[in-house]
Structure 1
Amino acid sequence: MLERIREGSQGTWATVILGLVIFSFIFAGVGSYINSSINSAAATVNGQDISRDALEKAYQNERSRMESQYGEAFAALAGDEAYLKEFRKGVLDRLISEKLIDQAALELGLRVSDAQIKQAIVQMSEFQVDGKFDNDRYLIVLRTAGFQPNGFRDYMRIDMVRRQLSQALIGTEFALSGETKRIYDLQAQTRDAKYLTVKTDDFAEQVSVTDEEINAYYQTNIASFDTEQKVSVAYVELTLNDLLPAIEVTEQELEDEYQASLADFKTDEERRVSHILIEFGDDEAGAEQQAEDILTQVKAGKDFAELAKEYSADTFSAEKGGDIDWFGKGMMDPAFEDSAYSLATVGEVSDVVKSDFGFHIIKLTDIKPENVTPYNDVKEQLTTTVKIRKAETELYALQQRMAEVAFEIPDHLDEVAAVANKPIVTTELFSRNDVPVALSSAKATNAAFDADLIEQGVNSDVLDLGDNRLMVLRVVNSEAERTKELAEVSDSIKQILVKEAAVVAARQWTQTLANSLKSGADITEELASQNIAWQEKQAIARTDAQLGQNVLTELFKLGEGESNNTAVVDTISGDVTLVQLLKINSPVEPESMLLDNFQRRLASNKAQVLYSELLDSLKASADIEIYN
């Protein structure tokens, strides 16, 4: 067979096909085959790409932030593909907005100097220790976040230019004093009013509902009478904590664990050095020669700290005589670190060292030797570690055995419970919207409503619910989705219709009272017939919670004339309120400081609106293309 393949690959047609493949590589380029699917753009904004890599990174960062902030609530939403699609679209919209702002800032000529960036970095609390900038912490934080110093400075430059544009908008937006005073007076204004509440339940006996109306409501709203699928499940749950109390450990096991984990109890040697950095610049050879000249001065006895302040390009450490504080292995550039650790005695100075950042002269200033925590100091920690490991091993073995008996004897959980040494728990009927806490994980819920498990009535697989928690369940009872018959819901529909008719009757009666008040008539007898009395309240503010938001909103729409000083309002509780404005109270003259603060808030609100409008304008005039 191999011989035939070899002969076929040397034939005329094989030669033609090979030639076509070669020509396709020549004209299209190998890079197009390799990179087309990897580096393609997610969108272009006025000809500038937003790469798929950038979108994916922003998406993952935002998703991680949401997961850490909202936990299970976000995890439940993330299970919906439609939601994740909209979530990703929101991230892309933000990247597009940022790109438009960057382009607008560039067109406006906005810039940030190196000195401004340095000052901003020094003032960032993330890089401070005891309120002061710490270069060692700065480098550690950058490495943890995946930044190199140059890359972080570029990131800061972009961010500061964006803020420069937003601050320019905030700085140019303003609120006039007269405008501020008028808006303040409106917001701080209070009102005197009287009001009464008409209970709709008092009108329920005055209305009737026919069978035809009940049937019509049922047919119109039939979807609302669909029931949810419900199940009742029996389950056996086993966790690591169930096994831990019975786990025993020996002294030998603890000592073996200590020796195996010795690196965890060891503090590596740390070193403190000062350095002088000469960056490559445009003339690497010249930079190296300058470093050699400085080293000559150091060897001649010149003060290292003074030379660092004068020549070092690492301005942060130069201000401290070149000191970069304590560091351990793996924290610095490899060439720098190797040289620093090769110095034998405090005060020793290295030769000129080349790193990715430039040429260094390194002086060893202090050493913290390696330290090992004694066995007895960590014995309790070791006991916990060994117990957990042994319990995990036992849990895994029990998981395998539980899986076997759940499969071999699928029609009950007795054998599974015996293996786990845990009781069988049976739930009441529940729907997907009221799942018991023990079954609230997505994996357990999905198993409880699995169509095959419901139909066959067999045990589930062993469900690994995370955090060393196992479960086997089976559905013992279920109710399918269905539409309730009219006879089942007739009484509830009647109550709904009676309530609606009572609200209409109460509103009509209350409106009659309002009309009488507007015409100047006395309504005392009407109120007495329903055992209703006026209530009066002085100095009602817009934030008053007693009257309810609906009543407040209508009250502050009313005028002082008899023709428009009364309103009928439906309340959230279902009752009807008649409110009458008695007096509008102007606020006392505010202190100038209060008015100044209000004016700044008003200007800030305007600036936010302006910024949003700027984005809308940029999007409207931009050439934006989004790719699937």
Structure 2
Amino acid sequence: MLENIRENSQGLVAKIILGFIILTFAVAGIGSYTNSVDTSVAEVNGEKISQAEFEKAYQTQRARMAQQFGEMFETLSNDANYMAQMRDSVVENLVNQLLVDQASRDMAIRISDERIKQTIREMPAFQVEGQFDNNRYLARINQEGFYQSSDFRDYLRVEMTRRQLTQALVSSEFALPYQTSLLTTLQNQKRDIRFATISAKQFEQGVEVTEAEINDYYLANPGRFENQEKVKVNYIALDVNDLAKDIEVNDSDLESYYQQNIVNYRQPEQRRIAHILIEFGDDKATAKTKIADIQTRLNNGEDFGELANALSDDTFSGENGGDLEWFEAGINGEAFDQAVTALTDVNAVTDIVESESGFHLIKLTEFKAEQVKTLADVKEEIAIAVSTQKAQDKFFELQQQAAQLSFEFPDSLEDAANAVGVEVKTSAWLSRFGNAAPFDNAKVIDAAFSDLVLNERLNSDIIEVSDSLVLVVRLNEYQAANTKPLEQVSEQIKTILVQQKSAEKAQLLADELLATHKAGDDISAQLTANNASFEEKAAVARYGSDLDASIVREAFKLPHPVADAVVATTVKLNNGDIALIEVTAVSQGDEQAPASFEQQYSQQLAQAAYQSYVEALREQAEISKRENITSTSQL
């Protein structure tokens, strides 16, 4: 059969079919190269937001939330719905940001080079002892991925442009005097009120609750009667701080540590340097020609500092003759570092050096020889280091023993405890949240409630709570989550239902008294019969009153009193009692606002204005977003 297939494939028809197949693959192949896949997460007025932009913003948001919520963020990050909402929020922010950028371009908002330079000089991140430091500047922007200073300046220009538009909107908002006066008057308004509190407790006597009602409430509210899952564990703890108390350090230890770590007490030779930088830009060859011309001028005797000031693309150091202060390796790459360390004579200049930033000419302006601190100078420092190191070594050794023995003898902690010299202790009841240290650590709780400990009844693996503390736990006692039986909570439910029915009776009475009072009839006798009476309070303020907050809140909801009309209402208090409230007079508040009030109100108006502006941009824009956006960190 295979031979027949081979013979048939040699025919003209077969070759034509094969040709079509090859052509199809060729066209498909060309298409795969010419038509790149669109991975953008959104498009705003024809401008796309790339997956890379989303990824950067997403990771920044994750880091911010992890810092804000701590260990709880691990729980949140396991919630698929929550993380999906967070990704959507990141995309929405990027869309809003791009809309503002587009609006800035339409309005031709520009930031000058001089202003950018001044901003960089004033940024605390680039300062040492209050002064701008070019070395720190270059190091910090390199750490953030800006390998050319022009890239960072471009980034800063975009950010400052956004801020300029935002500030223009915010600063244009202000509170008019009449608005501030009106709002202040309302907030400072005072009211004369009288109120009577009808106690619900007085109606408890005689309230009947049936077994059926108790059962119905129990079935309708099972969550109120749950026992949370809990565990009590035996554990051993190994703490490096406890070990350090018994560590002894002798002179031989100090001498040995000093010799082994003498590099830490040696001040290596230092070089202060200056440079002239020509960035690659769009034409590397032109940059090379430009730096070569500068090198020729230096060789012809022109001053290095003057050339740096006039021609260097590193304008910050250029203003100081190209000074980069004391050289730190690793900022501008290996080639730059090698060129500097090869300089030994003050005022010597390197040949042309290429780095990621561009082409350099580097000058040695000052040199300090190597210095070494004596053992006597650093003895106290070394004693602490040796003690810590010995404790850490002992800690690591015992940690390994504890891990090994707790694994080899998984049915008990005694062998491991005896080997490392600690006691087996028993914890209090532990739940999944809200425990005291060290059981507030997520790793410990995960281990305590793990299948290994709960179901297999074995020792846990070694748990690294921190760099200085490890635990091993095993089950002592377990309490599963369950609903308490009805007979156990029957009296509790009965109490709840009695209180509810009593509150209902109190509310019914209050409503009847309110209707009678509004009709103009005196209700004093009825209040007295129900152990209540009106209590008068003059000049009650909206904020800071010593009255129940519910009473104050309802009193300020009521309209101003008018002649021949009772302005009153009822409100349920937190303890179940019912208050009948009447407003008898209203006095206007002081129109004079605190000094900070106008500013706070203006900020609220400005924030609302900015949000409205962005919403207006969104309504006018054409926005499309990809659904089910994921991050590469999830793949």
Q: Which amino acid aligns with 2:438?
A: A
Distance, in Å, in 2 between the alignment partners of 1:151 and 1:103 is 20
Distance, in Å, in 2 between the alignment partners of 1:601 and 1:437 is 42
Distance, in Å, in 2 between the alignment partners of 1:489 and 1:60 is 49
2:150 is the counterpart of 1:161? no
Q: Partner residue of 1:147?
A: 146
Deviation at 1:495?
0.8
Q: Which amino acid aligns with 1:624?
A: K
2:588 is the counterpart of 1:586? yes
Secondary structure at the residue paired with 1:184?
helix
Deviation at 1:205?
2.0
Deviation at 1:604?
1.8
Q: Which amino acid aligns with 2:241?
A: N
Structure 1 residues 294 and 414: alpha-carbon distance in aligned structure 2, compared to 1, 3 A threshold = closer
Secondary structure at the residue paired with 1:146?
coil
Deviation at 1:52?
3.8
Please list the CA deviations of residues 312-371 of structure 1 after superposition, one character each: whole Å capped at 9, or x if unmatched: 333222333333322222233555444444443333445555555455444433223333
Deviation at 1:458?
3.3
Q: Partner residue of 1:626?
A: 627
Please list the CA deviations of residues 543-577 of structure 1 after superposition, one character each: whole Å capped at 9, or x if unmatched: 22523443333222212236462121122343322
What is the 5 A alignment of 1:136-535?
136-148=135-147, 149-279=149-279, 304-350=304-350, 353=353, 355-535=355-535
Structure 1 residues 89 and 247: alpha-carbon distance in aligned structure 2, compared to 1, 3 A threshold = farther
8 Å contact from structure 2 (residues 237, 422) kept in 1: yes
Secondary structure at the residue paired with 2:574?
coil
Q: Partner residue of 1:72?
A: 71
8 Å contact from structure 1 (residues 200, 503) kept in 2: yes
Deviation at 1:260?
3.0
Deviation at 1:167?
2.4
Structure 1 residues 166 and 617: alpha-carbon distance in aligned structure 2, compared to 1, 3 A threshold = farther
TM-score using structure 1 length? 0.84
Q: Which amino acid aligns with 1:467?
A: D
Please list the CA deviations of residues 271-330 of structure 1 after superposition, one character each: whole Å capped at 9, or x if unmatched: 223344445567766666665665566566655444443343332223333333222222
Structure 1 residues 310 and 260: alpha-carbon distance in aligned structure 2, compared to 1, 3 A threshold = same
8 Å contact from structure 2 (residues 96, 614) kept in 1: no
What is the 5 A alignment of 1:12-31?
27-28=28-29
Distance, in Å, in 1 between the alignment partners of 2:359 and 2:416 is 68
Structure 1 residues 245 and 512: alpha-carbon distance in aligned structure 2, compared to 1, 3 A threshold = same
Distance, in Å, in 2 between the alignment partners of 1:478 and 1:592 is 58
Deviation at 1:256?
3.4
> 118-127 or 329-338: which moved more?
329-338
Q: Partner residue of 2:90?
A: 91
Q: Partner residue of 1:63?
A: 62
8 Å contact from structure 1 (residues 181, 595) kept in 2: no
Deviation at 1:440?
2.7
Distance, in Å, in 2 between the alignment partners of 1:89 and 1:525 is 62
Q: Partner residue of 1:6?
A: none
Distance, in Å, in 1 between the alignment partners of 2:305 and 2:377 is 41
Distance, in Å, in 2 between the alignment partners of 1:258 and 1:321 is 41
Distance, in Å, in 2 between the alignment partners of 1:435 and 1:278 is 60
2:606 is the counterpart of 1:607? no
Q: Partner residue of 2:132?
A: 133
2:538 is the counterpart of 1:538? yes
Deviation at 1:493?
0.6
Aligned length, in residue pairs: 610
Distance, in Å, in 1 between the alignment partners of 2:129 and 2:433 is 50
Distance, in Å, in 2 between the alignment partners of 1:512 and 1:47 is 66
Distance, in Å, in 2 between the alignment partners of 1:88 and 1:380 is 52
Q: Partner residue of 1:4?
A: none
Please list the CA deviations of residues 381-440 of structure 1 after superposition, one character each: whole Å capped at 9, or x if unmatched: 434444444444444443443344434444333223212322222234443245453333
Structure 1 residues 615 and 446: alpha-carbon distance in aligned structure 2, compared to 1, 3 A threshold = farther
Structure 1 residues 20 and 388: alpha-carbon distance in aligned structure 2, compared to 1, 3 A threshold = farther
Please list the CA deviations of residues 71-99 of structure 1 after superposition, one character each: whole Å capped at 9, or x if unmatched: 33434544555544444443343333323
> 283-292 or 559-568: which moved more?
283-292
Please list the CA deviations of residues 185-228 of structure 1 after superposition, one character each: whole Å capped at 9, or x if unmatched: 32332323233333322332253222221122122223433332
Distance, in Å, in 1 between the alignment partners of 2:344 and 2:465 is 54
Please list the CA deviations of residues 429-467 of structure 1 after superposition, one character each: whole Å capped at 9, or x if unmatched: 443245453333223222322345334433333333332
> 277-286 or 187-196: which moved more?
277-286
2:117 is the counterpart of 1:115? no
Secondary structure at the residue paired with 2:584?
strand
Distance, in Å, in 1 between the alignment partners of 2:471 and 2:315 is 59
Structure 1 residues 399 and 522: alpha-carbon distance in aligned structure 2, compared to 1, 3 A threshold = same
Secondary structure at the residue paired with 2:557?
coil
8 Å contact from structure 1 (residues 254, 382) kept in 2: yes
Secondary structure at the residue paired with 1:65?
helix
Q: State the Cα RMSD in Å.
A: 3.8
Distance, in Å, in 1 between the alignment partners of 2:568 and 2:480 is 53
8 Å contact from structure 2 (residues 514, 569) kept in 1: yes
8 Å contact from structure 2 (residues 44, 624) kept in 1: yes
Deviation at 1:492?
0.6
Q: Partner residue of 1:102?
A: 101
8 Å contact from structure 1 (residues 44, 626) kept in 2: no
Deviation at 1:494?
0.6
Q: Partner residue of 1:574?
A: 576
> 572-581 or 277-286: which moved more?
277-286
Consecutive unaligned residues in structure 1, runs of 5 or more: 1-11
Q: Which amino acid aligns with 2:204?
A: A
8 Å contact from structure 1 (residues 403, 461) kept in 2: yes
Distance, in Å, in 1 between the alignment partners of 2:481 and 2:282 is 76
Distance, in Å, in 2 between the alignment partners of 1:429 and 1:161 is 57
Distance, in Å, in 2 between the alignment partners of 1:304 and 1:253 is 51
Distance, in Å, in 2 between the alignment partners of 1:146 and 1:139 is 11
Distance, in Å, in 2 between the alignment partners of 1:447 and 1:391 is 26
Please list the CA deviations of residues 448-504 of structure 1 after superposition, one character each: whole Å capped at 9, or x if unmatched: 223453344333333333324332222222233333222111101111111111222
Distance, in Å, in 2 between the alignment partners of 1:110 and 1:606 is 23
Structure 1 residues 435 and 47: alpha-carbon distance in aligned structure 2, compared to 1, 3 A threshold = same
8 Å contact from structure 1 (residues 209, 497) kept in 2: yes
> 386-395 or 122-131: which moved more?
386-395
Deviation at 1:581?
1.5
Distance, in Å, in 2 between the alignment partners of 1:400 and 1:224 is 46
8 Å contact from structure 1 (residues 184, 598) kept in 2: no
Structure 1 residues 40 and 420: alpha-carbon distance in aligned structure 2, compared to 1, 3 A threshold = farther
Structure 1 residues 465 and 503: alpha-carbon distance in aligned structure 2, compared to 1, 3 A threshold = same
Structure 1 residues 186 and 294: alpha-carbon distance in aligned structure 2, compared to 1, 3 A threshold = same
Q: Which amino acid aligns with 1:623?
A: S
Structure 1 residues 330 and 460: alpha-carbon distance in aligned structure 2, compared to 1, 3 A threshold = closer
Consecutive unaligned residues in structure 2, runs of 5 or more: 1-8, 10-16, 630-635
Query: How many percent identity over aligned positions?
Result: 36
Distance, in Å, in 2 between the alignment partners of 1:98 and 1:303 is 47
8 Å contact from structure 2 (residues 209, 494) kept in 1: yes
Q: Which amino acid aligns with 2:520?
A: G
